[in-house]
Every structure is written in structure tokens, then in C-alpha cells.
Amino acid sequence: MDVNRKHNKTTTTLRLSGECTIYHAASAKDALLGDSKGFDKTVQLHLEQISEIDTAGVQLLLMLQRVVQHAGGTLRLQSSNETVDQVLRIFNLPAPWQTQEAPA
């Protein structure tokens, strides 16, 4: 799994791509959470480029949510795809795991 991280004045944007599975969990955790102190108060998560996700991938996303919340921030799922949405529905995950609507 690849992690692209960008910062602006108030927001960290994370774009994840590739496979988010047990086979990539350890390296993905390091890439995603290795600099967790560098998160801004709002973290926008883009998952539309995830090709596969399993329970290890869901655990990684939940860990990200916990780290962001523990630091006083907010995690927002900005974009997703049917593969990710289907897995999140199976686990019946509440907000923020529904895609946020863009402001009008």
C-alpha cells in the first residue's frame, strides 16, 4: 500500500492506494502512522485508489482514527470506492467511515 501525505495550514490529506491487506499491514502502518505527530487537526482520508482491503486493513484504518482522535483531531473520509465501502458496511462502521459530502 502506498501512502501520500500532504499538509496545508490546517489539514493533513492522506491518499492511500494499492492493497490494504495483511500482507502489507506492517509496512503500511509505518508509512501511515510513523509521523503521527505531524497530523493537523483535520485529517482527510482518500481511499478511492485502494484495490483490496481485508480485516487487517480495517484495523489499520481504525488505528489511524484512534491516533487522530487521541491527538484532538478529526478524521474525515473524503473519498472511497465500492471495494472499501462494501467492507466498511460489512463491519457496520459508523461515522467517520461514510464518505463526507463536499461543501456546496
Q: What structural domains does the chain harbor?
A: 2-90 (3.30.750.24)
**pLDDT of 103:** 47
Angle CA 64–83–94, to nearest 5? 50
Strand order in the sheet with 42-53: 2-7, 11-20, 42-53, 74-79
> With contact defined as beta carbons under 8 Å apart, do 76 and 100 qualify?
yes
Q: What Rg do the C-alpha atoms of the chain give, in angstroms?
A: 13
**pLDDT of 104:** 41
Angle CA 52–91–53, to nearest 5? 10
Please return the burial class of 94, using the count of CB atoms within 10 Å of its CB with bins 0-12, 13-18 and 19+: exposed
**pLDDT of 51:** 96
**pLDDT of 38:** 76
pLDDT in tens, the chain (104 residues): 999 999 888 999 999 999 999 999 888 888 888 776 678 889 999 999 999 999 999 999 999 999 999 989 999 999 999 999 999 989 988 767 766 554 44
**Considering the entire predicted model, what is its pTM?**
0.86
